[in-house]
Structure 1
């Protein structure tokens, strides 16, 4: 099961927005990133998807506005299940189902040729059977947050609720994983009497947890779950620099990662769709760049590729995941405070043939101007200018930077900046150049001692980027 799209009809927040999660060939993306500032509906999208889970389906109020339709692509097992469960059709194959979450108990099935049939799930039994398809894991940032605390002095802290204590959650989850491993091993032995023991069946979940944690943390290694000296309770131990530390000594970010990894391992990869809300919480940038790969390895340990929805504020979360298997929705509010989105993978909205780029997403999602985006724009526009040459001699002239600046950029941008080239430490004649060329030279020639005292501001960088983007709209 993979989600293809979400269609809203008169929604009080999203209006009539349509989110298409498929590539140009109609195949759903494996990874969907929802990017933007606070209050743009990223977490709400995850919550609405989670309503497909069976517990939520039973609590929804139907025959109410607004309408929310979720289009789902089925895997082989799911297709057989639908064919057997839904009666009164002659479809030999079902490739998709469309669930209407709010307007009615309506299920639309679609076969491989695009034929559609609509069914009203009239009784609770039908709804219960169909809802078995929809198992979705929602990993919410709040659920794994460090509890608020007040320092009372002498190292004592008051926690608002012990149920939110990450330490206890980690200990309890490890204990549950060990019990589950022991039961799985006992079941295997019972059903394989006389066979040589398969050592991979021993502590399967615990081993996966240990390997995952040891690979993510460079300086800490998982040691084990042991009773304390008082034997009153258990604690989790780690090794760091040849000494043993407990889970109490870990940072909130470390506890957060450990607990989320336990959650994914305990689930065993049974859910076809996983929702991650703000995975960057309590992490420094290096961890943010690693964490999505870490979670992907955990959830995709089985045979089937899972679909991952990620809502994030962090530009580091998606930096290493700009690929053909990922799509990016930039969510923001327009001048009328209405939520809009940009599908940056769409060739009509992307700036480059290789869109999206990291600098491009940062700019449109957060308004962050980066030297990387400026470099991409300048280089791409220059290459396009060269490619329009009439012949080889013309192309050679166009490849010169000053020729490009004076004969192309200066058609729209005034040459208000001076750049002084340096040859063997000697200043050459200063040249009047446009702001984009000045910034490009400044970034590419830090060795130029003559120009080292002159730089550009973030405001000038933004102005230059906006001017370069205007060339692409011509």
Structure 2
């Protein structure tokens, strides 16, 4: 299940606001819902509000039409009620489609749900859509969250069974060595047939990114007390355990935002993510979008962000840039000429191909490409360069070398490319 269109009649900053969240013409997936969406905009433009709009109750709790084309069979507590005119935009709505690009349902603000094809269902152990809390870096591992309890329960069950089998084998060492090899073979077969949830979590989820911090999930069981089998531990790549309270904010951010995806293993689900860049260094920010989206199957991600590095991971049609109108309401900035067709060839901005400074000026609308301190130093650099070029033999060799040294030092500080001989 994915969102293809949103219309908001009147909600906070959104007035008659409409979004087409499908791939443009000329794209291999033209007309299908976007797999991922990046929402950017100044503070107050409504990035989080848009996510909240998508965080709707389960559709099954809604009143519904069985067929939006005939508008027949309207049920409300098993009673036929007056049909609504859905052709007029007098209600906000969100249109959902299934994987074959057919409308699954349209959800209206007044609680009406119009079905057309309800054969496909989202699969998740938790409520839909999945909302990932990016403000997790100040929390400790082991928060009292449903997904955490489910993960730990699976790990505990596996470890208890593993410990029991090892104890039984250990007892045979002194009591019945003839059966020892047989039981060892059975234990090996049990391990093959029973996936280790901690190994799965480490190899297929967390370690993919923890390795960037030179960390990994501790898979070996160091059983000294009961609590040792009831938690997830982190260690360095050299095998030294790192206490949870010593993990960096960014490390905990990665762990606690990945665990919901591991626990739910979402399929055909909408996933909402606010500020994924929090507490993460730039090199990690450039990798986390691909990381998160790789942990699900046929899901649709919505990321709200302030980070140009996050935005650089998206195709231009996947970016929803919110801007203020003079009356304080917002609109979506188009990256193609509105007089032309929404076609991949008509886009004039693509953040994937821009330098970081160009993303800041062209997409995030910074008026200047530098701050006042840099501007002053650039003027100083230009003055030094002018003096060196207009020397005409008036400067002594010592004075010229001094100016040249000042110029080169300042140019290096400003990351300014120059030819030392000219």
TM-score by length of 1: 0.55
2:321 counterpart of 1:330:
yes
User: Out of 184, 205, 210, which is 2:202 matched to?
Assistant: 210
Q: Helix, strand or coil for the counterpart of 2:253?
A: helix
Kept after mapping to 1: 8 A contact 2:335/2:347: no
Kept after mapping to 1: 8 A contact 2:59/2:113: no
1:256 positional shift: 1.7
Q: How does 1:232-271 map to 2 (within 5 A)?
A: 234-240=230-236, 241-271=238-268
Kept after mapping to 1: 8 A contact 2:41/2:306: yes
1:30 positional shift: 1.1
Q: 1:43 aligns to what?
A: 48
Quote the Cα distance in structure 2 between the aligned partners of 1:13 and 1:52: 22
RCO (CA 8 Å, sep 6+): is it higher in 1 or 2? 2
1:176 positional shift: 2.9
Kept after mapping to 1: 8 A contact 2:234/2:241: yes
1:22 positional shift: 1.1
Moved more, 218-227 or 351-360: 351-360
**Structure 1 residues 346 and 55: CA distance shift in structure 2, 3 A:** farther
Structure 2 residue ranges without an equivalent (≥5): 26-30, 64-83, 163-188, 371-381, 393-413
User: Out of 279, 284, 289, which is 2:286 matched to?
Assistant: 289
User: Out of 138, 149, 171, which is 1:146 matched to?
Assistant: 138
Quote the Cα distance in structure 2 between the aligned partners of 1:169 and 1:226: 23
Q: How does 1:67-466 map to 2 (within 5 A)?
A: 67-75=91-99, 95-103=102-110, 105-107=112-114, 109=116, 135-142=128-135, 144-147=136-139, 165-168=140-143, 172=149, 174-178=151-155, 199=192, 201-203=194-196, 205-211=197-203, 212-218=205-211, 219-224=214-219, 229=224, 231=226, 234-240=230-236, 241-300=238-297, 305-319=298-312, 321-323=313-315, 327-344=318-335, 353=347, 355-357=349-351, 358=354, 361-363=359-361, 365-368=363-366, 446-449=417-420
1:345 positional shift: 5.9
- CA-to-aligned-CA distance 1:407-452 (integer Å, 9 cap, x gap): xxxxxxxxxx99989xxx98899xxxxxxxxxxxxx998223488x
Q: 2:185 aligns to what?
A: none
Q: 2:39 aligns to what?
A: 34
Kept after mapping to 2: 8 A contact 1:74/1:97: yes
Q: Helix, strand or coil for the counterpart of 1:292?
A: helix
**Structure 1 residues 245 and 133: CA distance shift in structure 2, 3 A:** closer
**Structure 1 residues 261 and 335: CA distance shift in structure 2, 3 A:** same
- CA-to-aligned-CA distance 1:128-171 (integer Å, 9 cap, x gap): x99965942111334x3525xxxxxxxxxxxxxxxxx4444597
Structure 1 residue ranges without an equivalent (≥5): 77-93, 111-128, 148-164, 186-195, 373-416, 430-442, 452-474
Higher strand share: 1
Kept after mapping to 2: 8 A contact 1:331/1:365: no
